[in-house]
Amino acid sequence: MESMTLTGLLKKTASTFPDRRAISVAGKFDLIHGQLNELVDHAASQLLAAGVGPGDAIALTFPNTVEFVIVLLAVIRCRATAVPLNSAYTSEEFEFYMFDSESKLLLTPLEGNKSAQAAASKLNIPHVTATLPSPNSKIILSSSTTSSLEPVERISNDPDDVALFLHTSGTTSRPKGVPLTQLNLASSVKNIMSVYRLSESDSTVIVLPLFHVHGLLAGLLSSLGAGAAVALPAAGRFSASTFWADMNGYGATWYTAVPTIHQIILDRHLSKPEPSYPKLRFIRSCSASLAPSILERLEESFGAPVLEAYAMTEASHLMASNPLPEDGPHKPGCVGKPVGQDMAILDENGMVQKEGLPGEVCIRGPNVTKGYKKNPEANKHAFKFGWFHTGDIGYLDSYGYLHLVGRIKELINRGGEKISPIEVDAVLMAHPDVDQAVAFGVPDDKYGEEINCAIVPKEGVKITEGEVTEFCKKNLASFKVPKKVFIADNLPNTASGKIQRRIVAEHFLAQVSTAKVPKFGA
């Protein structure tokens, strides 16, 4: 039973490799696995004493710090549910995510987060800070009392405990809540450890935000599960100027990132190459399509195979990956073989497509969520014929490798960040001078896709692109703000009154270099 939980997996690792390095804060201090386990249990005891109970959702918003790692694992250890949130969210966004997850407590660093605290205050959610003063101390929670701590040993974790609650954006609704159980997380960690042969000899530097499933599962938890080591950048976020120094300093054997980060690392290499680079077993790319030219440049520049992978929040991250060189050929243009779960290509009637024929990519397995929280409509579409439907179109070749050829939905994938255009639409439409609005994705060399939008001002009103952009900056996280705003006289609508997003995108993409944008149908 214990081996079927993330908590049990990490405890077994701590007992097997108690003295091996687990987490480093770059240039500051190291924690070994045994020490990390003790810190997590102590923090869990404090949370229990503060009244945190099984099933309670606990919102956390931190940079990539050791405090975040400890309190997130402590929340899960309490049989509560961790809800990691992006520190860059606006107050309105925090309010939605905390309300939707039914969060009972907000945890932040000592310096706090004004937007998150404002949202928590509005929802009457208590706010607690967490800090680790030194590597030899314990986590200090601002809610701590002089009363005796609750013994965490009395808590037995269960595979069905909802350990993590993340949101994934859809194109036809608000972001959907994805509950992931201890079993889901443990299964995914084992899958990642297996396909990349992670062991206690491995080391990596975390470059992705840990509120995102990619960085959290593939970078952090899979490393900890294998007895390997991770280094957190001193600033709490990725920095191209310190990345290779950290990789060299901590003897990194691999790293995982989104294509945008890979491009930044390559650009840095071309403009200011390092004196030396570590000997890497592999480089991993996921969360968005990696251009073949970028893959080739990465391999040439850093002397390591680049393995593309395919993942989703609903699958606790990993679904398919190209293998290590010793386990099979890497096939450019595809996302590899299914890992740790069943995968099928289905037509609209639920029939399995023959080899080479495209259809919807569908999966099932112990790493896959049981369903979206309180969202029967989304569940009805996503869980059919005994499979989870990803919304992606692809095919399997004769070697069992998955090739992605398109998307059913219109989700904007900006450098691995999945953004719902409906969410951006709602903000645009909240502007008092906007009559119609639609957001859409356009191709972008750096991010894969970038956000653009078109708006129709209210009659008799003049509005500028700058005014719309400033309004969006105040109401959306920075990565969701449209890069370009088109001012139009009209937008195409269906008979039911819905704006035809695809036609709008195609129209403005064709006119992007034209000074005057013509009317639709002109």
In the chain, where the domains are located: 2-145+160-394, 412-510
Res. 252: pLDDT tops 90: yes
C-beta separation of 3 from 12 below 8 A: yes
Whole-angstrom distance, CA of residue 522 vs CA of residue 520: 5
Share of the chain above pLDDT 70, in %: 94
**Confidence (pLDDT) at 254:** 98
H or E element that contains 246: helix 240-249
What one-character DSSP code corresponds to residue 182? H
CB 378 within 8 A of CB 170: yes
CATH 3.30.43.10 fits 412-510, yes or no: no
- Residue 349 CB contacts under 8 Å (≥ 6 apart), including other chains: none
Q: Could you write out the DSSP letters of every residue in 428-467?
A: HHTSTTEEEEEEEEEEETTTEEEEEEEEEEPTT----HHH
pLDDT at 495: 39
Over residues 459-513, the pLDDT tens digits come to 889 999 999 999 999 999 999 999 999 999 988 865 334 677 878 888 888 876 5
- pLDDT at position 417 is 85
Q: Report the 10 Å Cβ neighbour count for 397.
A: 12
- Look up the CATH superfamily of 2-145+160-394: ANL, N-terminal domain (3.40.50.12780)
Phi-psi region of 316 (alpha: psi -120 to 50; beta: other; left: phi over 0): left
Do strands 21-25 and 229-232 pair parallel, antiparallel, or not at all (unpaired)?
Answer: parallel
Looking at residue 327, what is its pLDDT? Answer: 96
Sign of the CA dihedral 449, 447, 72, 109?
A: negative
- Residue 446 CB coordination number (10 Å): 12
Query: Confidence class of residue 153 from pLDDT cuts 50, 70 and 90?
Result: confident
Given this model, what pLDDT does residue 487 score? 93
Nearest 5°: the CA angle 277, 280, 285 is: 110
Which amino acid is located at 94 in the chain? F
CA count, 13 A, side-chain hemisphere, 238: 18
What does pTM read for this prediction?
A: 0.83
Least confident of 122-126, 157-161, 246-250, 371-375: 371-375
Joined together, the tokens standing for residue 494 give 């269906």
Burial class (CB in 10 A: 0-12, 13-18, 19+), 153: exposed
Model confidence band, residue 263 (pLDDT cutoffs 50, 70, 90): confident
pLDDT at 170 over 60: no
